[in-house]
Amino acid sequence: MKGFQVVKKKRNEILQMILLDSELSILDETDSGLDIDALKIISTGINNFMSSNKSIILITHYQRLLDYINPTYVHVMQDGKIIKTGGGELAKELEKKGYEWLQT
């Protein structure tokens, strides 16, 4: 039952974002606790919300969410600073290599 509650909470967050019609939304670890079906549902909501006058800061540690949402930019932060920026290809590179190669 706990998994169902997580999915319901995440869906409500996306619904709230859509109803508020915000220009900027911050979604922190939206993929946490979601199975593949729930991930697809949440991703569809995010993709349907996006337009040229909307922005989302999507915080995630894993590529799997980005399999369904194509990011414009990917930023890697370390100690509160952006240490690497790229497009969606950067997320795929991180999935293959990990983060260690970025250490400064």
Q: Note the pLDDT tens digit of each residue in 5-40.
A: 777 888 888 889 889 998 999 999 888 888 888 899
Q: Is 34 exposed, middle or buried (0-12, 13-18, 19+ CB in 10 A)?
A: buried
CB under 8 Å to 40, separation ≥6 — which residues? 68
Q: Which CATH number fits domain 1-70: 3.40.50.300, 3.50.50.60, 3.40.50.620, 3.40.50.2000?
A: 3.40.50.300
What is the overall mean pLDDT for the chain? 88
The H or E element spanning position 104 is: none
pTM: 0.80
Asked if pLDDT for residue 98 goes beyond 70, the answer is yes
Domain boundaries defined on the chain: 1-70, 71-104
